[in-house]
Amino acid sequence: MPKRTVIPFGPHHPVLPEPIHLDLVLEDEKVVEAIPNIGFIHRGLELLCEKKPFQDMVLVAERICGICSLVHGIGFVNGVEKIMNLQVPERAELLRVFWSEMSRIHSHLLWLGLAADAIGFESLFMHSWRVRELVLDIFEETTGGRVIFDAIKVGGVKKNISKETLGRILKQLDKIEEEYKQIADVFVNDFTIAHRWSGVGVLTKEQAELLGAVGPCARASGINFDVRMIKYGGYDKISMEPIVETAGDCYARALVRVREVYQSLDQVRQAISKMPEGGEVEVKVTGFPTGEYFSRVEQPRGEVIYYVKGNGTKFLDRFRVRTPTFANVGPLVQMLAGCDLADVPAIVLAIDPCISCTER
């Protein structure tokens, strides 16, 4: 039997600026086992629900993650609104869909750039982020923030978008799509990228189902599921079809994200066209939440579950978040077993890990 070596991967490592830690057990150059260790940046955000009124908890929920902050906010308010039986106006729901799909475009472009950077494709990284900048400009114009948007509140949205701005955004979306097509072409057709990722970190459909993979990671393994299919929030007015690949390797995960950007662009256009003109964007909130609810929302990284329990006071009893990266750690360990040491960064990056989300 060859000699076994343990190499610590992280918390400081070359893939991400986030502190994931894996103990890699190696036999020569092959990884036999990977032991994850999380908890470096636990901030105790869930306990804050005992100190902040439930309306202010939206601000805390939005700060769980820096990339999909708005979708976290939507997950929280969905739970509270269901407990309190609030009917959110249609325009507010579609504005939420608009912003969350824009978040997906921005998150996927960020990931595509980082992934290109991780395999040494610097120019593709720069160009992906250049396109992402156009999306961030739309966010800044409509919400006032580029990363933390602060646009969601219990009972609706804080900001409305005028008709002229929406017209301008539609034109801008055409520009984004045109620029994005060139980048997507490189991801889909370039030889170097396919050569680097094909067959690396394979997760079969059975394994993905068994280990509970979520989001693009599950869809790349052939699981036809997307939480947007349960039609939460304003998604009942939007038609969509989940994007599925069957190969289950890193390249399939990249292709799912590449195609999801087109899907999101289509959904943003649908949301804008179906938005009723004028009308309120928020309802008045009276009373306090009593009861509990599990809210499920599709983040760019996968399914996030919010558990909210109110006790009839302005403070919540319990607030619990199950983030997509946490669900994907199990599949990640499965993918790492048997791979080469040099493939570890590519595989870790392919699940799009967000450690700040995971540890909250």
- Residue ranges that bind other proteins, judged by CB under 8 A: 52-53, 55-56, 59-60, 121, 123-124, 127, 130, 133, 140-145, 150, 159, 182-183, 185-186, 189-192, 285-288, 314
CB of 178 to other proteins, least distance (A): 12
CB of 175 to other proteins, least distance (A): 13
Determine the distance from the C-alpha atom of residue 123 to the mean position of all C-alpha atoms in its chain, rounded to a whole number.
24
CB of 84 to other proteins, least distance (A): 10
The residue among 165 and 224 lying less far from other proteins, judged by its C-beta, is 165
CB of 140 to other proteins, least distance (A): 6
Question: For residues 173 and 269, is the Cβ–Cβ distance under 8 A?
Answer: yes
Task: Extract the tokens encoding 66.
Answer: 């820096």
CA angle 209, 213, 214 (to 5 degrees): 120
Task: Extract the tokens encoding 276.
Answer: 């009723």
Q: Report CA-CA distances (Å) from 183 to 60, 131, 198, 309.
A: 35, 9, 19, 44
The residue among 102 and 227 lying less far from other proteins, judged by its C-beta, is 102
Q: Which helix (H) or strand (E) holds 74?
A: helix 69-84
CB of 240 to other proteins, least distance (A): 28
Instruction: In whole angstroms, give the CA distance from residue 250 to residue 199.
Output: 7
Q: Which helix (H) or strand (E) holds 260?
A: helix 250-274
The contacts of residue 173 (CB under 8 Å, 6+ apart) are 265, 268, 269
CB of 330 to other proteins, least distance (A): 34
Q: Do you find a cis peptide bond into 11, omega within 30 degrees of 0?
A: yes
Specify the amino acid at residue 236: D
The residue among 228 and 259 lying less far from other proteins, judged by its C-beta, is 259
The residue among 114 and 341 lying less far from other proteins, judged by its C-beta, is 114
The residue among 196 and 301 lying less far from other proteins, judged by its C-beta, is 196
The residue among 31 and 84 lying less far from other proteins, judged by its C-beta, is 84
Instruction: In whole angstroms, give the CA distance from residue 251 to residue 245.
Output: 10
Question: For residues 221 and 335, is the Cβ–Cβ distance under 8 A?
Answer: no
The residue among 184 and 297 lying less far from other proteins, judged by its C-beta, is 184
CB of 155 to other proteins, least distance (A): 9
CB of 67 to other proteins, least distance (A): 18
Q: Report CA-CA distances (Å) from 268 to 103, 166, 174, 235.
A: 11, 11, 11, 11
The residue among 181 and 320 lying less far from other proteins, judged by its C-beta, is 181
